[in-house]
Amino acid sequence: MTETQLRDQICLLAQSLFARGLTGGSTGNISARTAEGGLLVSPTGSCFGRLDPARLSHFDADMRLIDGDKPTKEMPLHAAFYESRARTGAVVHLHACHSVAWSMMPEVDEDNFLPPLTPYAIMKLGKVKLLPFFLPGDPAMGAAIKGLAGKRSAVMLANHGPVVAGKEVEAACNAIEELEDTARLAMLMRGFNPRMLSAEQVSALVEKFDVQWD
């Protein structure tokens, strides 16, 4: 994929996420690795519904801003995934309503944020780590992700929003949508004692689809 194609893909996917209400206003940020080893990143204060391919923040392989607008203040969040997970080709962060709501619930498992309601979140995300609340832009978020030693492709920032790393930008967007859908199901089923996947069914999924699960 050429850099021009990657710029267009980032903006197209971001616009789709915005149009379906998965992040609103000027919230959320997205980044992707270029063929040269640099990054394209959504600018600070930008709206997912109106990203300009030509104005994306462009970093070289040494993480120096070489053109484009000033990047999102959440750069430490993105950089932490690229540094700690070698296979990361893209990172997406949203302020998605249902996952934020689920992060506030007292019964949530911090080590395994999403309950096993369907196979797809397990297949696309593995275990999602719930991190504590940080002030937006706090570099400590990046440190917390690095502290996971590359073992998680997705985290949930409490009272804030999900962050997902993927091999490429479309995969990262698909995975973060699965995270939000599963959180929505969890909120809908709260108080209904739903029949979840059993431990044996989860183990079978992990083995069949080679899911990182620890």
Active site residues: 74, 120
What whole-number distance in Å separates Cα of residue 27 and Cα of residue 20?
A: 14
Per DSSP, the three-state class of 148 is coil
Per DSSP, the three-state class of 157 is strand
Quick one: which of 7, 180, 151, 163 has its CA closest to 76?
Answer: 163
Per DSSP, the three-state class of 41 is strand
Determine which helix (DSSP H) or strand (DSSP E) holds 91, and give its type and residue range. Answer: strand 90-93
Strands 90-93 and 129-131: unpaired
DSSP per-residue codes, 99-141: HHHHHT-TT--TTS-S-SSSHHHHHHH-SPEEE----TT-THH
